[in-house]
Every structure is written in structure tokens, then in C-alpha cells.
Amino acid sequence: MTQQLTIRRPDDWHLHLRDGAMLQGILPETTRHFARAIIMPNLLPPVVTAAQASAYRDRILAALPEGVAFAPLMTLYLTEDTDAEDVAKAHASGLVAAVKLYPAGATTNSNSGVSDFDRVRGVLEKMAEIGLPLCVHGEVTTASVDIFDREAVFIDTVLDPIRRATPGLRVVMEHITTRQGVDYARSGDADLAATITTHHLIINRNHILVGGIKPHYYCLPIAKREEHRLALRAAATSGETRFFLGTDSAPHIDSLKEHACGCAGCFTATNTMALLAHVFEQESALDRLEGFTSQNGPAFYRLPENSSTLTLEKTDAPARWPARILTGAGPVTVFDPGFAVYWHVHD
């Protein structure tokens, strides 16, 4: 028996596209299903200025498959030297949709991030004034804090003080991974939202470590205990408008994942929508999938919903996708949920 669900075309509110040969190889995996995406700026060198964001957007558009309509929503990488007026001009021109905060050293290519938050106070105040969202990688990098506690500590010691000191600042807690993250997102007003990834709805830390280390499940923020995964699933499928999809799909070539010091990131662009349909069906919440993927994010970012649609169909035959995407930079392994999925995606 088949089952069909047609929704507005989704958006991805947290996406890594990289650059060069990698960008050209993996961009079609997103544009096949998604109409827009918030593009992460952690390149080498990072996308710090409006001029750099404009040039990066041009490279993305040049890499689009022929006939594909896709809007990259650009971001600026917040540093302690970021110019508040440059940020304001980039926002006023429509070039950038958000500014990204990486605590220095938190994840891939984040060494240019912020160590002294007092030095970005002026930029944050300007962003609050003009309504430009701050997208936050919410982890402290203090060596003494356990990696599984870094999100909760960040909320208490960094995020909450920033929000209290900057009234009106619009914040997206990106890729939350804990019950504490869910609870804090729910404690805020309309200026606070949170994205949830596909892979954090599916894996917990056992998937990474039990039976041998699984490098393609290693990501930052790292997957936590099962209680946190269940809290994320409840939030994503709740229908609450403050939660929406940000895949954090993050490609690395296999030789850098399967490595003595493997890179962090799960590549989910290829199969996210089928996996989400599976998760939402398990939670008896298929009627809320469209809100999570296609409505809540545009509402927070003050953008219209997409007019085009996407159809998901469940059949008796399992969905198939390639084990890896072959790019000019090297092969990239596609996230494997570890179970059969019977949802298929049709444009």
C-alpha cells in the first residue's frame, strides 16, 4: 500500500556547502529537494565581510545545475574585528540573512571565532537594532568542560548573558542536541528559535562508540545520551513554531573522516527528507512535518513560504540512495541511518 504526503518545498536553515570542487559536487544534493538554505561561512579564510559573502554567493550560483531554482541565504562569520556598519549595510542590501557566532575552536574552521564576547558587543547591539538574526554554535570550548556538557554550559554562561545584555537580539540556537537546549529554547519569546538536525533525531552517542568507532556518525555538537535524542524528537514533532530544520549537512571527504583525527560532520543532504518522513511517522506526527521543514523557518526569518511543493510517498520498496557522492575533491559518504526507510521523495 502506498501513502502520499505533499508539502511546501522545504528549506534548510543550516547548511555547509564548502567551496571549489566540493561545492560543485555536493550542491545538487541540496538543490534536488530544498528551495533555500542558510549557508555557513566557515570557509578558509572565513566569510567575514559583505564583499566576501557576495563573492561566495556568486560561486554558489555559478555551480547550480542548469534549470535549478535555489536561493543561497548568506551569512557573515562573526569575529572580534567584525565591522558593525559593514554588517548593517550587508543586511540592508538583502545580501545576508544572518550572522554566525562560532566560539573560537568549537568546530571545523572555527579558529577565527570569538573568545572575548565583550569585543563583539557593538555588533550584537547593531544586529538587535536592525533585526538581523544571530545564528549560534552553542558550545563552550573550555578544556575542563566535558564535551558532552559543553552545550548546557554554553547556555548558562554565554548565551543567556548575551541575550540579557542585548534586548531584542534575535537568536537561532543552531543544531541543539540536549534536553537543556530544548528547554531553554522554549523559555524564550518570539526572538528565540532553535534548529534541529536530521542525524540528531536518529543517533545517540552509542551509535558512534559501541562496537567500534563510527567516524561517519561523529559530529559537533556530538550526539548525546538517548534521553536527549528523545527530547529532540519530541520538540521537532511538537508543532511548536520555534523549532525548525537545519540539517548541518557537513561534507568531508572520506579520507579525512576515516582518519586518526577525523573531521566532525554528517552529510545528510541526500536523504534528509526521506529520513524525516520516517521519524515523523514513527512519532505519529506526519501532519507536522511541513511546519518543521517548510513553514517555521520562513516565519522566523521573515520570509515567504515557498510556493512550489514536494511529494513524499511511502511504498513497500525501501528507498535507495548512493553510499557516497563522488566529487572532484574526493568521495563523501552519505549518512546511513542504520535501518530501512520506505519513504521516497518526488518533485
Cβ atoms within 10 Å, residue 168? 12
Q: Choosing from 81, 149, 248, 254, which is the catalytic residue?
A: 248
Grid cell for residue 304: 515567504
Give the span between the Cα atoms of 41 and 16, in whole angstroms. Answer: 8
Closest CA to 344 of 320, 325, 308: 320
Q: Is 326 exposed, middle or buried (0-12, 13-18, 19+ CB in 10 A)?
A: exposed
**336 labelled catalytic:** no
Element (H, E) at 225: none
265: left (phi over 0), alpha (psi -120 to 50) or beta: left
Give the span between the Cα atoms of 82 and 86, in whole angstroms. Answer: 8
The number of C-alpha atoms within 13 Å of 179 and in the hemisphere containing its C-beta is: 6
Closest CA to 9 of 324, 281, 308, 320: 308
What residues have CB less than 8 Å from 202, skipping those under 6 apart? 229, 275, 279, 337, 338
Give the span between the Cα atoms of 173 and 176, in whole angstroms. Answer: 6
Element (H, E) at 150: helix 150-154
Grid cell for residue 229: 535524542
The catalytic residue positions are 248
